[in-house]
Amino acid sequence: MKTVISSRMDGVSESATLKLNAMVQTMKAQGIDVVNLTAGEPDFAVPEEAKKAVIDAVNANKSKYTPAAGIPEFREAIASKTNLQQPHVAKIQPWKGAEVVVTNGGKQALFNSFLALLNEGDEVLIPSPFWLSYPEMVKLAGGTPKLIHAPFSQHFKITPEQLKAAITPKTKVLVLNSPSNPTGMMYSRAEFEALGKVLMSDLAKNVWVISDEIYDRITFGSVEFASFLDCAPELRSRSITVNGMSKSAAMTGWRIGWSVAPSEITSAMITLQGQSTSNINALAQWASLAALKLPDSYFEKNAEIYHRRRDLALEILKKNRKIEVISPDGAFYIFLGVKGALKAGEDSFGFSERLLNEAKVAVVPGTPFGEPNFVRMSFALDDRSLQEGCERIVKFLS
């Protein structure tokens, strides 16, 4: 029988993180003692201010349709936040609320961006390791993902020379992610400036940049956070900044993200969204507006907790010499090199399956992130569970 599935689904993979997390939840429901280090989801409660804003919005009947791009107050607040993080851009041409689209999580902001920018066969440069959804989104949008391998020895960051060598006449987009999922690595201001110089050359005059900055508020001081566009403000006319509330305010299930982009591309994304999801949940927007207005001290306190958890995990994991690891600069992941622990012919999928079945610890294989000899573990969970999971890993490898 002839398949009815669209050819655009050819080669598009299911999200490994969502699939594994579902498996772990099934095992737990069966009473199996599993330590789940897979999900990129903060364990903190949603801010009280966000909860109150929802109640106030319900009582004020603010639960109707909103403009497809989001409520004006929230869009203006997002523009203000972005201007604060991109002062060199704001000095030239500050962002306005009209250049913001509120989306169903940062994921939709990325998807909108690819759909609005890519024509069939356009190349998208993706530094590897990468968040596993980037290449799949590019494929769905008709583009061709082209990976730039950034090895462990480079702290998983691409160099200007690599970027220059990767650009071809077909290159349309470069995706950047700092702090990174899955590695936790961050580009310094100087490193972003060097990449920006390549992108400002004639070689790259038609290349757009999508900068995924969803972990901007979760950093540990080893590298100061820099928004890409602030390091290359001349690229304002062909850059999209993506962010959201899921990670910084522990609002994963509220599904609030956004894009900040030049008017022309923003208009295209509003049209896309208007014909797909329309507006994002109205109540979640009011809650996110309240969360966005929280003082820096709120986000800094959470980052300090992640920092302590990172150090706790690394202290335990470094007891086993089979593990390769670089201390992450931000986000809440540790990317573990397990090449020395792999059996003959085994990759990270096989290792992760053995770890789950034998040690009852769930991690995400590195293969879908572009690194078959690594696994990703999250430290966004309570200290006791984190310590237990890390100790089980060390014991398993011993």
Cα first-last separation, the chain? 51
Q: Do domains 7-45+297-397 and 64-294 have the same CATH topology?
A: no
Please give the Cα distance from 191 to 231 (Å, whole number): 9
Percent of the chain with pLDDT over 70: 95
Query: What pLDDT is stored for residue 2 in this prediction?
Result: 59
Q: Is the pLDDT of residue 169 over 60?
A: yes
The CATH number of 7-45+297-397, from 3.40.50.300, 3.90.1150.10, 3.40.50.2300, 3.40.50.11540, is: 3.90.1150.10
pLDDT of residue 17: 65
Q: Is the pLDDT assigned to residue 5 strictly greater than 90? A: no
pLDDT at residue number 39: 81
Exposure letters 119-157 (e unless 16+ CB within 10 A, then b): eeebbbbbbbbbbbbbbbbbbbbebbbbbbebebeebbb
Q: Using CA atoms, how far apart are residues 241 and 90, in angstroms rounded to an integer?
A: 14
Architecture of domain 64-294: 3-Layer(aba) Sandwich (3.40)
Report the predicted TM-score, pTM, of the whole model to 2 decimal places: 0.94
Predicted confidence (pLDDT) per residue in 207-250, tens digit: 999 999 999 999 999 999 999 999 999 999 999 999 999 999 99
**Per-domain residue ranges of the chain:** 7-45+297-397, 64-294
